Amino acid sequence: MKKFSAVIFSIILLLSFLPAASAAEAKGAAGTNTDYYSVLFKQNSMPAGFEKQVKNLGGEVVYQVPEIGFVQVKAPTNAFSKLRGLSGVSTANPSISWKLPKSKKIAAAVPSGMDKSKAALWGLQWDIQRITNNGESYKLGTGSHNVVVGIVDTGIDRDHRDLVKNLMPGSKNFVPAGGFQGTESSEKGGPNAFDDKHGHGSHVAGSIAGNGAMLGVAPDTGIRAYRVFGTSSAETAWIVKAMIAAANDGVDVISMSLGGFDVIGQAFYVDPETGEKIKLGNDVADFLAYKRAVEYVTKKGSLVVVAAGNESLNGTNKKEVMNYLNQEYAGDGLYFVGAGFEVPGSTAGVVTVSATGPKDVLANYSNYGPGFIDIAAVGGDARMYYQAQEEGWFNEYIANRMFEKEFNLSASEDGGWYWSIGTSMATPKVSAVAALLVDKYGKMSPAKLQDLLYKTAIDPVKGTDKAYFGAGHLNAFNALNR
C-alpha cells in the first residue's frame, strides 16, 4: 500500500487530452521492410490455414480477436496486396495506432491544512459538485458492487486509497510482451499487469468511483480496469479485445476515454526526397472492427460510453474533419481523400460525450456536432489557462491556483491526485451516472439504459444547443430523483 504522506505534498496540474490516432505511426514510414496490418475476416472467426498463409508471405499473426473475426498481422510491406487477397479476408489496412494523451504538467502545492480524511478534497471538486447538485445525489444513491464499470484505459493504481475499496477482482492487461510494436521492453505481457504507468486511467476511475480524500460521481460503485496503454501507443486490436473481455466479464458499463480518427477513402504518403506518391489504403478494417465490437458487447448487455474528442471539430462535418487531418499530418508527408470519422464516437450504439467547462459552456477544446453528441458532462476548460499564457501572467495563474476554477481534480497513478481537462474527464462521469441508474432500476438492456440517460439524467437543452450538448447536461441528482 502506498503511503499517503509520500504523495500529499504536491498535486500535478495536467493539461491532458484523449488519445488520438497518429496517422504517421499508423501508416509506418515509407521504405520500411515490415509493417503491422489490421485484418477483418468475412466471418467472426479466422479462416482455416490463414496463419500458415501469412507465414508463407513472410509474416505472422501477432494478435487475435476471434470473437469478431479480427487479427493484427506483421508482414513485409510488399506482401500487403497479397494479404488483402487471402481467402476469407474482408478488408485489411495498415494498423491504426492510438497514442497516449499529450500532457503538460505543472507542480502545484496542496492547500494548507489538507489531510487524508474523508472528502478532504471535496471543496476543490467543482465538477463533481455540479453533477451531483453539491452532493445531494449521494443521499439518493451512491451505487454498489452489484454494478461494475469496466474502464478501458491505461490501467489503474491498484493501491490508491481512494480507489481500492471499489476495485473489483478481475482487472486485466491487454498490452502484449514488448508493448507497442516491440518498442517497450518493460512490457512483459502478463495478464495481471494492469498497473497504471501514465495516470489517465486512475484519473478516470476516480471520477467514477473515488471514495476517500476525493469523491467520484458514484463513490460506492464497482470498477474494473482493462489496460490497453503502456507508456506509448495502443493498437485497435488491443482495445476491441479489452471491450469484448469486459462484456464477457459482465460489466454493466464500458467507459472509454479514448478515440481518434479513421478515414474511409484513401491515405497517401509523398516521399519528401523522391516525390513518389504511395497509396496506403484506408482504415476500413479498424473502423468495422469497432462496429463489430460494439455490436458484440451491446448484445452481451454492456453500454459503451466514449469521449467525443478534443480537436474543437464539428464531428458531423466530414470536410472539416478531413481538413483537420490533412493539416495535422501534412508535415509527415501524409494526405487523405474521403471522409473522416471520430472513432469510436461515431460508431452506432455508443454514448458519445462532449465536455463542458464552468457555467455549462462547451469546453474550448471539445468536439461537437448534431447527431454526433449524445450528452454533455463537465470535463473542464482551458480558456483562462491559455489567456494567461498569451498575455504573460501564467505565473500568477499558477501561484493563485486559478486552475482550480476550470480544471478537474482526480486520482493519479502514484497514490495522489492531479488536475486535468478533456472529454476524457467528462466521459467517466456519464459512465458513473449510467451505473447509478442500473443500481437503482436493475439490470436492463443498453438501449433502455441509454433512453433513461437521455430522458432522466440531464438538464435538457433545445434547438441548436443539441449540437453541442446532445440531450443535455449530465445531472446525477435528476437521474435518481424520480
Residue 153 appears among annotated catalytic residues: yes
CA distance 410 to 298: 29
For 476, the enclosing helix (H) or strand (E) is: helix 476-480
Please classify residue 383 by burial: count the beta carbons closer than 10 Å to its beta carbon, then call 0-12 exposed, 13-18 middle and 19+ buried: middle
DSSP E strands in 54-104: the ranges are 60-65, 70-76, 89-94, 97-99
Grid cell 472513432 — which residue? 343
381 tagged catalytic: no
Query: Of residues 160, 198, 200, 473, which has the active-site annotation?
Result: 200
User: Which of the residues 16, 302, 366, 424 is marked catalytic?
Assistant: 424
Find where cell 443498453 sits.
446
Contact 375, 430 (CB under 8 A): yes
Bridge partners for 40 per DSSP:
70, 91
Specify the amino acid at residue 189.
G
427 near 204, Cβ under 8 Å? yes
- Count of alpha carbons within 13 Å of 19, Cβ hemisphere only? 30
Residue 113, classified by CB atoms within 10 Å of its CB into exposed (0-12), middle (13-18) or buried (19+), is exposed
Phi, psi values for residue 202, rounded to 5°: -70, -35
**What are the φ and ψ backbone dihedral angles of 315, each rounded to 5 degrees?**
-65, -15
Task: Report how far residue 409's alpha carbon sits from residue 397's, in angstroms, rounded to the nearest whole number.
Answer: 17
The active-site residue out of 127, 153, 157, 286 is 153
What is the rounded CA–CA span in Å between residue 465 and residue 401?
A: 31
* Catalytic residue list contains 159: no
Instruction: Of 103, 130, 117, 303, give the one whose Cα is nearest residue 203.
Output: 103
Residues forming a β-bridge with 39: 71, 92
Catalytic site residues? 153, 200, 424
